[in-house]
A and B are shown apart, each in its own frame.
Chain A
Amino acid sequence: MLFHVQVEITLKPTVMDAQGSTIERALQKLGHDGVRNVHIGKFITMEIEANCAGCARSAAEDMCRELLANPIIEQFAVQVVEAEKECPA
């Protein structure tokens, strides 16, 4: 089965996110007073051919550990969405 997989990579909370804080200040200057905790990350989408959603997730998590994220500074979250089946007609 083909699964759509979304991977979100962000800096760990212990790592200062200079881009996030700069954008937070910019938003506040624009009048968005209530804005807090802005963070910047990477968003990666892919399709994975796998037997089940769990297998697709575990493959994506392996990819994060191996290449997509640097575990020293980054954390990741994986979301798996089953691809819509093609209409047989």
Chain B
Amino acid sequence: MKFGVVIFPGSNCDADCHDAILAVTRQEVRYVWHEETDISDIDCIVLPGGFSYGDYLRCGAVARFSPVMGEIVRHAAIGRYVIGICNGFQVLTEAGLLPGALYRNDCLKFVCKPQPLRVERTDLPFTHFYTTKQVVNFPIAHGEGRFFADPETLARIEGEGQVVFRYCTPDGQVTSEANPNGSLKNIAGICNEGDNVLGLMPHPERRCDRLTGGTDGKKLFKGLVESLLLKSISHR
């Protein structure tokens, strides 16, 4: 299995993602410059955190027009995997690969702290190593991570079970006090209807080694690798 980590001008979590995925999965990982137009060798493309194009206009608004994005849309359409973390999640919503939008935190502050999250879906390739309603701790680091969708879209996201992670208390309660940015329904991460595109504001790649505070993020990448290997065996 091969991972690709996109580098936009202004990405700054690309090396973290690359090194964490490599260390955790022992699979091939390569960087993908945003001007590349062939990613056909890649099974899972990761859009990392950072400040693509300086967050000018809106976070992710300019990155979505990078040449590689057309390829990522095609990559997703044929069922291959896409993970957008933090700024990567913002790019995916701007590109229309995920519903909703992310805008200024209600507290108007850049929030940087460890954050408990409740895993809402454990049947996805990304999350099947977690247990139902498990509380994991991934750090958040963003100023514009407040999830918004109009009432119809929100009802559809909830109805289709597209919410993957919610901000919660350490014991798993989804409360307004546990919501760090004012996101609707404490939404921290969602997937698309095809279950192959995941976007989340928290950083699982920063929880892949005890040296950086914990290893809750490992299962996300390991789970995806196992899913893909099983899929390739069953297709033989």
What number of A-B contacts does a CB cutoff of 8 Å give?
35
**A37 on the B face (CB < 8 A):** no
The interface bits of chain B over 83-120 (1 if a CB of A lies within 8 angstroms of the residue's CB, else 0) are 00000000001100000110111111000000000000
A22→B108 contact, CB < 8 A: yes
Residue of B nearest to A72 (CB): B101
Interface residues on chain B, number (Cβ under 8 Å): 20
Query: Shortest beta-carbon distance, A27 to chain B, in Å?
Result: 16
Residue of A11, A16, A42, A73 near B106 (CB, 8 A) is A16
Contact of A70 among B61, B106, B150 (CB under 8 A): B61
Query: How far is A72 from B93 in the complex, measured between Cα atoms in Å?
Result: 10
Name the residue on A nearest B105 (C-beta): A18
Bound-complex Cα distance A14 to B162 (A): 23
Interface size class of A (residues with CB under 8 A): 10 to 19
Chain A residues positioned under 8 Å from B148 (CB to CB): 15, 72-73
Taking CB atoms, residues of chain B closer than 8 Å to A42 are 57
Interface core residue of B93, B101, B105 (most chain A CB under 10 Å)? B101
Interface status of A67 (Cβ within 8 A of chain B): yes
**Smallest beta-carbon distance B224→chain A, Å:** 28
Instruction: Tell whether, in the assembled complex, residue A72 and residue B106 are in contact, meaning their CB atoms are under 8 Å apart.
Output: no
When the two chains form their complex, are residues B150 and A18 in contact, meaning their CB atoms are under 8 A apart? no
A72 close to B100 (CB less than 8 A): yes
B4 CB, min distance to chain A CBs, angstroms: 26
List residues of chain A with CB within 8 A of the CB of B62: 67
Residues of A within 8 A of B (CB): 11, 14-16, 18-19, 22, 42, 67-68, 70, 72-73
Which 5 pairs between the two chains have the least Cβ-Cβ distance?
A: A72-B101, A73-B101, A18-B106, A70-B101, A18-B108
B residues within 8 Å of A by Cβ? 57-58, 61-62, 65, 93-94, 100-101, 103-108, 148-150, 153, 182
